[in-house]
A and B are shown apart, each in its own frame.
Chain A
């Protein structure tokens, strides 16, 4: 019954690899987000999509490519992984356009690049 679900929850991979994190929400929301939490717990938005359209791309390296096949899914693909990409990645969603409605987060995906 998880509202916003992400897979995998844990991912350990080597530098240079390509990996994807999948996200699905069953809340019927129109907007989805990816946030990154670094080792100091700082949370920052990476991307947002509203009805499959990109709204925000917050100066993220182009090695990160989000894909929204439909409004219930927002996947994150990362090419040529670097050590600095190690972080927790949170998917989230909210109802309607991004105008201040409550944002609900998934449980996070812990990515470790070695």
Chain B
């Protein structure tokens, strides 16, 4: 069974600081997929990134970057130069057994 752990329940940083959200996954599959979703205060779930288990290259998209390390079963998410609009709950998720299993989420608050 898939398991995703987001140990950070809540994080607050001052605007323009960098912040990293941690994600640790457990799986017995050799092929698996990892995701990050953002849930802003308005409530919708916004897809951010999908990464398959064969691709350990880090990815950067604007101020967002993701660090995938199979050796530590981690898929961490960094926001550089944070902005108030980044305030949201962020979910890490793993796909296996035909379903997406979510972590418990990290609530990120950016203080202006």
A100 touches B33 (CB 8 A): yes
Asked if A107 and B44 sit within 8 Å, CB to CB, the answer is yes
Residues of chain A with a CB closer than 8 A to B8's CB: none
Say whether A56 contacts B98, CB under 8 Å.
yes
Binds A, one of B64-72, B75-83, B100-108: B100-108
Q: How far is the CA of A90 from the CA of B35 in the complex (A)?
A: 17
* Contact between A102 and B45, CB atoms less than 8 A apart: no
Alpha-carbon distance between A65 and B34 when the two chains are bound, in angstroms: 29
Number of B residues near A (Cβ < 8 Å) is: 22
Contact digits for A42-66, partner B, Cβ 8 Å, 1 yes 0 no: 1111001000000110100000000
Q: Give residues 54-109 of A contacting B (CB, 8 Å).
A: 55-56, 58, 88, 90, 92, 98-108
Decide if B100 touches A103 in the complex (CB within 8 Å): yes
Give bound CA distance, A55 to B99, whole Å: 10
Q: Which B residues lie within 8 Å of A33 (CB)?
A: 99-100
B25 proximal to A (CB < 8 A): no
Which residues of chain B are near A98, meaning CB under 8 Å? 98-99
Given contact pairs A100-B52, A102-B50, A90 touches B98 in the complex (Cβ within 8 A): no
B98 A105 Cβ-Cβ under 8 A: no
Interface residues of B in 12-55 (CB under 8 A from A): 31-33, 35, 37, 39, 43-45, 47, 50, 52
Question: Shortest distance in angstroms between A105's beta carbon and chain B's nearest beta carbon?
Answer: 4
Chain A residues within an 8 Å CB radius of B37: 105
On chain A, the residues within 8 Å of B105 by CB distance are 41-43
- Given contacts A41-B89, A100-B52, A104-B47, 13 further A-B pairs with CB under 8 A are A42-B104, A42-B105, A43-B91, A45-B99, A56-B98, A58-B99, A90-B45, A100-B95, A102-B35, A102-B47, A105-B37, A105-B47, A107-B44
- Whole-angstrom CA separation of A58 from B58 in the bound complex: 33
